[in-house]
């Protein structure tokens, strides 16, 4: 996993990592509140959640600095990574591969 978000490519990589972790995330949500629906336990330990919250804060800063909409970018990554882009229109984000 990344240790720091410095570029918009890092923002995309972080979003992809969250999808690989199996979470349906939103940039505004606190990772402390994520619950595993199968076990009814927190998805992340306090330390893991704090780290991801800091990473998301860095994502916001990088996107703002570069004039990129974080919501469109992360939504597009999530839709493409899960295959839902076949059913849900993509936002017009800066993300592309």
Q: Each residue of 33-92: pLDDT tens digit?
A: 999 999 999 999 999 999 999 999 999 999 999 999 999 999 999 999 999 888 888 886
* Predicted local distance difference test score (pLDDT) of residue 96: 52
* Predicted local distance difference test score (pLDDT) of residue 73: 94
State yes or no: pLDDT of 28 exceeds 80. yes
At 17, list the tokens. Answer: 């990592």
pTM of this prediction? 0.89
* Predicted local distance difference test score (pLDDT) of residue 93: 52
* Predicted local distance difference test score (pLDDT) of residue 22: 92
The residues, ordered by sequence, that sit 6+ positions from 40 with a Cβ below 8 Å of its Cβ are none
């Amino acid at each position: 996993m990344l240790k720091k978000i410095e570029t918009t490519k890092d923002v995309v990589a972080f979003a992809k990592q969250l999808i690989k972790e199996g979470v349906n995330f939103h940039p505004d949500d606190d990772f402390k509140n994520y619950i595993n629906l199968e076990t009814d336990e927190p998805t992340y330990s306090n330390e893991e959640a704090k780290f991801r919250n800091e990473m998301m804060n860095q994502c916001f800063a990088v996107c703002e600095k570069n004039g990129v909409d974080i919501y469109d970018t992360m939504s597009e990554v999530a839709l493409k990574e899960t295959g839902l882009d076949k059913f849900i229109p993509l936002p017009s984000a800066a993300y592309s591969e």
